[in-house]
Chain A
Amino acid sequence: MSDAGNWCLIESDPGVFTEMLQGFGVKGLQVDELYSLEHHETTLAKPVYGLVFLFKWRPGDEPCGVPSNNGNIFFAQQVIQNACATQAIINMLMNIDDPEVELGSILKEYKEFALDFDPATRGECLSNSDKIRTVHNSFARPTLYELDIKGGKSEDNYHFVTYIPIGNKVYELDGLREAPIEVAEIEEDWMDAVTPAIQKRIQKYSEGEIHFNLLAVVPNRKQKLEEMLKSCQEANVNHDLDDQVHELNIEIAREDRRIQQYQKENARRRHNYLPFVVELLKVLAKEGKLIPLFDKAINQAKERAGQKALLDLKRKQ
C-alpha cells in the first residue's frame, strides 16, 4: 500500500547526490558538478570514479557504442519510472572497486543479493528495495497538489546515464538499454577517453537547445583533508608544519560551508512552500501590492508569448 513502487523525480544537483550517497551509507565519496570536460584535470579530485550524465531523453536515440557482454560489469536495467537517478548512481557504485570506498550495508546487501541475476531482475530487485527507495524518495519535492502539467513546457523526459572505466574500456550504463555500452578504449586517463563521446552527445543536444548536466563521483574531499590534517598534526612536533595545518583547517572550513550550503538547499527542496506562499500572497494583498504584481506577471507572460509568436513567424518566412 501507500507509496510502494512510487519513486519521485530527482534533481540533478551535486548536493542532492552527495546527500543521497550519505543516505545509502556510502563513505569516501562525494559528487561534484562538472562544468567543462576540458578542465577536469584542475577542477576535480582524482580519481574520478564515474560520471552521471543527465540529458533529455528522446525515443530512438542510437547508442553511441557497441553493447558489451563483459560479465564483470554490474548492470541493472531500469524497470520503473523516475528511478533513473538512483539507478545511474547505484550502477556506478556497484562497479567501484577501491578500498577507500565503503558502500555501506544497504548497497552491499543489494549487491550480494542481485549479483547473480540478469540485468532486468537486478533492476526489479532495486525497485523493490524499500531502503533504497526511502533514501531516493527523501528528496521528494513536497507539493500539496499533483500537478497536471501536460502541455506545459517543463514536461520533458530527462534521463540519467553513467560512464565508468572498467579495465581498459569506458562503458556507458544506461538503464533503458539491454546491456552496458562500450564507448571508448582507455589509453591514459579514462576521462580523456570518454570526453569525445560525451562531447558528441552534448553537441547533438545543444543544437536542439536541450539541457544537459554532468556530475562526477570523486573522493570525499573533507575526509581526505581530515586525514591529511591528522598526519600533519602528528608530524608537526617542531611546529614547522604550522602553515600547512593552518591551511588545511581553512580548507576544511571551506568544505564545511559547502556541505552546509548543500544542507540548506536540500532543506528548501524538501520544504513545502505552499503555506508560505499563501501567507505571502495574503500580506501582499493586504499591502495592495498583489494586483500590480499579478498584472505585471500576466503582461510579461503575454509579451513573452508575443515575442515567441513573432519569432516563430519570422522563422517560417
Chain B
Amino acid sequence: MAAMFSNVRPSATTSGNILEFKAGRSLLETGSSENTRKVVADPKKGLIYIKQSSDMLTHFCWKERDTGAVIDDLIIFPDDAEFKAVKECTDGKVYMLKFKSSKDMKLYWLQDGSVDADKDLVKRVNDALNKPPTSRPARGGNVSERSAAGGGTSTFPAALADEFGGTLGGLDQNQLISLIQSLQGQSSEYPAQNQNPINLSTTDNNEVDCEPAATSTGITTNDLSAILNNLRPGGSKGQEVSVSLGDALSSDTAAEAAKTNAESLSPHLPETGNTPEKELSETVKTPQFRQATDNFGHALQTGQLGPVLAQFGLNENTVAAANQGDLLGFARNLTLAEGGELPKEEEQKEEEDTTTKEPEAKRNRPDLDDMDVD
C-alpha cells in the first residue's frame, strides 16, 4: 500500500525511524546456578531504532554505530512485544524486549550518558512499537473489512481517527466538521450542502459501519479524504515554489543560536570524534547537514513531516501547520509554543493568511493522493 511516506525509490532502505536511542546489546550467559543467568554487556557502541518500512511493518533494529551494520532487525506486530526495564540489574540501565508470542527476548543497555535519556523511555518505545504513526489500514474499499477487524463497533469519529491516524485522531465529530469548514474558509454553520459537494448519503463502495453518525452527518470518509487532499498541497499560495531550508539553517544566525543553546543540541550531534563544541560549530556548515535540512524542508512543505514531528512532542497547532505544509504557520506556532517573540507585522499577516487558505482546485499531482489521508 502506498502510504503516508510513499516512496518513489522503491528500493531505498530509508524508512521512518520513529524513535532511536544509543544502546548496546547485552548477552545472557550461564549464571552461578542452574536457574540463574548472567547479563553481560557487549561493549560495542550501538543504536536502537524503531522504524516503519514501506510495507507498514514496524521494525525494531539494533545497529553498530561504528560500522553502521544492522545486526538486529525484528519485525514487531502491535502488542507482540513489550519493552521494559530490567530492575534486577543495578550496575547499568538494562532493558528487555520481550516477545509475548514466544519466550524470546532481547537485552540492551542504555549508552546515552545524558540524564534524561531514560525518561519515559519504556513508554516511548512501547508506544512506538504498538502505536506506530502510520499504521493505517488500506483506503476506500477496505473500510468495512477494517472495521470488522476492529470488532465492528467503530463509530464515525473513531473510524475517522482510524482513517487519518495521527493527523486527526482525537477530534470528535463536531470538531472535525468545524475543522473542515474552517479549512474551506466557511463561517457558516453545518450543514454545508450549498457550497460544498459533501455527499449526504453513504456511497456504494463505502458500505461502512460508521452508520450511527454517518447518517446524521452525511460525511463519508471518502469525502473527507477528498477534501483534505485538495487542501493538502503547499499551504498558502505563496509557497508553491520549493523552499530550501538549507540556507536558513546553515546561516550564521542558526550557528549562533546553536552555540548559545549547546546544552540542548549537543546530545543530537553526530559522533565524529570532535568535542561537542567543535562539532556543533562545524556540523551546521557541512554539506551533510545541509542535505539533511533540505530534505527536512522539502518534507515539511509537502506536508509529509507532520506525523513525524508529532513524535517529537511539538504541539497540535505546530503539527497541524506541518501537516498542511505551511512553513510560516509552522514557524509561527513553534515560536508561540517556545515562548519566542513574534515579529511585529505578524498579526497583520495572520489576517492575510486566512484569506489565502481557500481550498485550491485539486491539481494533477497523483503523489499527493497517497500522502496523508489514505
Contacts and interface: CB of A to CB of B under 8 A. Distances in A.
B270 interface: yes
A61 interface: no
Nearest to A308: B241
A129 to B, nearest CB: 14
A295 B239 CA distance: 11
A278 to B, nearest CB: 5
B334 A285 contact: yes
B298 A149 contact: yes
B288 interface: yes
Contacts of B20: 272
Interface of B: 5-18, 20, 53-54, 59, 67-70, 73, 75, 238-239, 241-245, 247-249, 251, 253-254, 257-258, 260-261, 264-265, 268-274, 283-284, 286, 288-289, 291-293, 295-299, 302, 304-305, 308-309, 312, 314, 327-328, 330-332, 334-335, 337-343, 346, 365, 367, 370-371
Interface residues of A, number: 72
Contacts of A296: 247-248
A109 interface: no
B247 A146 contact: no
A2 B52 CA distance: 10
A132 to B, nearest CB: 12
A304 B160 CA distance: 41
A2 B272 contact: no
B69 A267 contact: no
Contact of A277 (B59, B274, B293): B293
B297 to A, nearest CB: 8
B244 A297 contact: yes
Nearest to A270: B68
Given A23-B67, A282-B338, A2 B9 contact: no
A291 B343 contact: yes
Given A6-B12, A270-B68, A1 B75 contact: yes
A105 interface: no
A267 B271 contact: yes
A205 to B, nearest CB: 22
Given A274-B296, A283-B264, A288-B343, A146 B54 contact: yes
Given A286-B339, A288-B340, A268 B17 contact: no
Interface stretch (A25-33, A136-144, A170-178, A227-235): A136-144
Given A7-B11, A300-B247, A301-B243, A282 B334 contact: yes
A314 interface: no
Contacts of B260: 283, 287
Interface stretch (A151-159, A189-197, A240-248): A151-159
B299 A147 contact: yes
Contact of A298 (B18, B328, B339): B328
Given A151-B365, A279-B261, A292-B343, 18 more contacts: A2-B75, A80-B11, A143-B17, A145-B304, A146-B5, A149-B298, A150-B367, A264-B273, A273-B268, A273-B288, A276-B283, A277-B296, A278-B309, A279-B268, A280-B254, A285-B331, A294-B245, A298-B328
